[in-house]
Homo-oligomer: A and B are copies of this chain.
């Protein structure tokens, strides 16, 4: 019970953080208030909607539980009004984004496994849950998705999804090991950021 509540709170924090990242991108493109809220919503909930559609959990949580949509829209509107102040907390936002990545990877992979998706597919669904929102954000604002171009981001999510799948198969998918996995993903992402790790690009 308390575990479920902790998970919901953590999930909503992830939604708020990803919504803020989407809203920031939309403000930079000079979209109007509705556009900012919409891109924020898509960045926060696009990955989860894709996950739920693919595992057959319809209607997706983003539409079935009003707290998700409201959290995304409130965070987006806050960014719309407060965005000049965001530059000063950019470091905080990146850390929170890493936290969102860890969390969405864990919950996405777990939900896919519980819906009966086999291991390889569940890892892919978990990764897509974590990166799907950022992909949607970039497509809506006319950019080639950043996750495909720079830095170690999706690979950390994929590694985390594999870890969650192993835990699940070992029957260890309890609150504590899962929280440790999310923390590990978040930590790796932060290290990748600070060390400027990046994936190789093909020789021309």
Q: How far is the CA of A135 from the CA of B117 in the complex (A)?
A: 26
A52 CB, nearest partner CB in chain B, Å: 9
Q: Is the CB of B154 within 8 A of A69?
A: no
In the complex, how many residues of chain A place their beta carbon closer than 8 angstroms to a beta carbon of chain B? 62
A65 CB, nearest partner CB in chain B, Å: 8
Chain copies in complex = 3
Contact code string A134-172 (vs B, CB < 8 Å = 1, else 0): 010001111111011110001100000000000000000
Contact code string A20-64 (vs B, CB < 8 Å = 1, else 0): 000000110111111110110000000001000111101110111
Of A7-15, A90-98, A174-182, A193-201, which binds chain B?
A193-201
Q: Is the CB of B70 within 8 A of A148?
A: no
Whether, in the assembled complex, A80 has its beta carbon less than 8 Å from a beta carbon of chain B, the answer is yes
Known: A63-B121, A63-B122, A84-B203. 11 other contacts (CB 8 A): A27-B202, A30-B201, A30-B202, A34-B199, A38-B148, A56-B59, A63-B120, A66-B121, A69-B121, A80-B202, A139-B140
